[in-house]
Amino acid sequence: MRVHVADHPLITHKLTVLRDRTTHSPVFRALTEELVTLLAYEATRNVRTETVDIETPVTSTTGLAISQPRPLVVPILRAGLGMLEGMVKLLPTAEVGFLGMVRNEETLEPTTYAERLPDDLSDRQCFVLDPMLATGGSLGAAIEFLFDRGAVDVTAICLLAAPEGIAALEKATEGRDVTIVLGAMDERLDENGYIVPGLGDAGDRLYGLV
């Protein structure tokens, strides 16, 4: 598993505003979208391309185009939905599948409550969106789901992660082609499984309390 932590002042600035408890949902949503677009630039560095012949107004030449099958973007509901627009802005030809997961706040175990994905993901490059990688349970289950359907490689974009979750994911995805692109690696998990310093509950901050 490869882990890439973005190191850019714009990303750190936007994350700082996002973390601030006084930042309300409309700004939180806009910043999430902007951050994902910045992280998507890094996450798509190895997107598969093929050579194409084109005519410019001046001459014939060759260029690169994103190859078939199209990449699949998978936001993990609910909070990952807040990352979708920022991703498809950069990768407009991608297909989008959905996974609904919720973590039991007592046991910290994730359950899947919705799934709308192609049955066969053979040869597909997948990009998973989930803002928070805490224990790694939700992302680990999502990644396993995609590999079980035949995905060849999975890149996850997360705004924040805890070292404990990264370590758990490393074990769970051993031997798989997995890349994690992060806005920041935080310090630790607290006793309730929240990322410290973190930003609180990403789903609630995007969409309100449920």
Q: Which residue positions form the known binding site?
A: 78, 103, 130-138, 195, 200-202
The candidate with the shortest Cα–Cα distance to 166, out of 181, 177, 148, is 181
Number of residues counted as binding ligand URA (CB under 6 A): 8
- Which is the catalytic residue, given 16, 93, 107, 111? 107
| Cα 199 to the center of its chain, rounded Å | 16
Rounded CA separation 158/8 (Å) = 15
Q: Which is nearer to ligand URA, 101 or 121 (CB)?
A: 101
Can 107 be counted among the known catalytic residues? yes
Binding residues for uracil: 195, 200-202
Can 123 be counted among the known catalytic residues? no
Show contacts with ligand PRP in window 123-142 (CB under 6 A): 130-139
Over the window 131 to 170, marking each residue x when it contacts ligand URA by CB under 6 A and - when it does not, the resulting string is -x-x------------------------------------
Contact 60, 100 (CB under 8 A): no
Residue 100 pairs with which residues in a beta bridge? 77, 114
Can 186 be counted among the known catalytic residues? no
12-16 long-range contacts, Cβ below 8 Å, gap at least 24? 12/184, 14/38, 15/159, 15/160, 15/183, 15/184, 15/199
Q: From the list ligand PRP, ligand URA, none, pick the one residue 194 interacts with, judged by a Cβ distance below 5 to 8 Å according to partner type.
A: ligand URA
Q: C-alpha dihedral over 183, 5, 151, 139, to 10 degrees? A: -60
Q: Which is nearer to ligand PRP, 94 or 156 (CB)?
A: 156
Can 204 be counted among the known catalytic residues? yes
Rounded CA separation 205/169 (Å) = 25
Q: 75 to each of 14, 21, 87, 116, 142, how far by Cα in Å?
A: 21, 24, 10, 11, 10
Give the residue nearest to ligand PRP (CB).
203
* Shortest Å, Cβ 62 to ligand PRP: 42
What does the block give as tokens for 39? 């992280």
- Which is the catalytic residue, given 32, 44, 103, 155? 103
Residues that bind ligand PRP (CB under 6 A): 76, 78-79, 101-103, 108, 110, 130-139, 165, 193, 201-203
Residues that bind ligand URA (CB under 6 A): 132, 134, 194-195, 198, 201-203
